[in-house]
Amino acid sequence: MRLTAFALSLGLCAALPAATVFAASAKAPAKAAPAAVKYDEAKLKELEAKLAKNPKDAKLKSEAAEAHYQVGHTMMLDDNLPPRTKYPGALKHFNEALALNPKHAKAAEEKTMLENIYKQMGRPIPK
């Protein structure tokens, strides 16, 4: 009787981690599809060319700031880029977005987040 109870509890203990992993994966929310990105690097270059011709156009500045933010955000989340490429590149785009529109909240938030990560790692913040 004791041997049977021992074998049963041993079997349950062995199955518990697998059941826990299965239950955790079943409960894990599905990744949300990425939001449609309006701007990519090619569109950003077009906007920068237009802005160079008309640097005082406030609407164009705002649009270029948003384009820099979106390109930087996309770069920051790109799993195909190595961290040494994507984070400094994203930070550069966030800085450009804030230079064009100092009130761009998302660019400021993500810039601060990346800078804090660099500080926590004890590394210099890329320019």
- What are the average pLDDT values for consecutive 10-residue runs of the chain, which has 127 residues? 42 42 40 62 93 94 95 95 95 97 97 96 91
Residue 99, classed as helix, strand or coil, is helix
Write the CB contacts of 28 (distance below 8 Å, at least 6 apart in sequence): none
Distance CA(44)–CA(40), nearest Å, equals: 6
pLDDT for the residue 127: 82
pLDDT for the residue 36: 63
Give the CA count within 13 Å in the CB-facing half-sphere of 44. Answer: 16
Taken in order of first residue, the domains within the chain and their CATH numbers are 1-30 (no CATH), 41-120 (1.25.40)
